[in-house]
Amino acid sequence: MDRKEITRRIKEKAAEIGFTKAGVTTAAPFDAEADRFQRWVESGAHGVMNWMERDRDKRRDVRNILPEAKSILSLALNYYTERPEDANLKISRYAWGTDYHEIVPKMLKTLLAEIQNLVPGTEGRYYSDTGPVLEKAIAERAGVGWRGKHTNVITREVGSWVFLAEIILSIELEPDPPAEDMCGTCTRCIDACPTDALKPYEIDATRCIAYLTIELKPEHEIPKELAAKLDGWIYGCDVCQEVCPWNRFSEPAPVEAFAPRETIVTLTEEAVESMAQDEYSRRFQKSPMKRAKLAGLKRNLRALKQSKQHHAKEKA
């Protein structure tokens, strides 16, 4: 088989396993993107996400992860589900169901095994938000999607409600052309951001509601200025994606485990306020919401209450 046929069959396998889209790029360095990423980190816009300061060489060149690397298979998995009408709290859509870290790596492991059956001797490393790689840059260069002005990758097929993943491979595959930026003059995401965290193609994570309610360590209170702008979000934020015109192409996720859990949908402020650790562990088993920890969720609730008080005073 030539590399074009091998690439076609790998993409077919990816679709059979359940991935929404697959694209291929070479293992050439990501010099411009790595420089841009480093400037962003040095500006402090990454906040307390200290892991972003490490492994610069691996982000720049995946051959520092897998010396034999020749290609990168970029993958997207749709996670979109409709917002439950009876949801009590505003929770980011990706966190309604089972944590994708419980699902995507298993899919990647299966796909890599299929590739190794197809081309014996193939070496591979796979990640899904778990390794020192520039996932968005890989997806762009592999033609999976372009980076929108809200900094999320947008696919033409299903919009931006996708998880990204990649497999670094030791075999030469047929590369896809890079994705074309289709945002045009639209600035809806920037205009809608409650905390003004966005500039075109750039985000100040320290102002982003998702960062403040998920990544900011529980021992740190959300700054009052930003707490007043939480807009009801207790875990994550989807505003920039909800207003994106490309998300009119959203389709229901193919993975049933991403569907909203009753334990998430029925969550109330009162339940969070009175919640003990054992109930937290039961309610959020294998849920992305465990990332915030119980102390973080309670901190977020305090900030929400501050926000409500602020708006009540404004109206008075």
- Catalytically active residues are 129
Residue 159 β-bridge partners:
155
Residue 26 β-bridge partners:
71
Phi, psi of 308 (to 5 degrees): -65, -40
Whether 131 and 121 have beta carbons less than 8 Å apart is answered as: no
Q: How long a stretch of residues is the chain? A: 316
DSSP state letters, the chain? --HHHHHHHHHHHHHHHT-SEEEEEE----HHHHHHHHHHHHTTTTTT-GGGGS-HHHHH-GGGT-TT--EEEEEEEE---PPPTT--SEE-GGGSSS-GGGTHHHHHHHHHHHHHHHSTT--EEEESSSSSS-HHHHHHHTTS-EE-TTSSEEBTTTBT-EEEEEEEESS---PPPPPPP--TT--HHHHH-TT--EETTEE-GGG-HHIIIIIS-TTSPPPHHHHTT-TTEEE---HHHHT-GGGGG----S-GGGSPPHHHHT--HHHHHH--HHHHHHHTTT-GGGGGHHHHHHHHHHHHHHHHHHHHHHH-
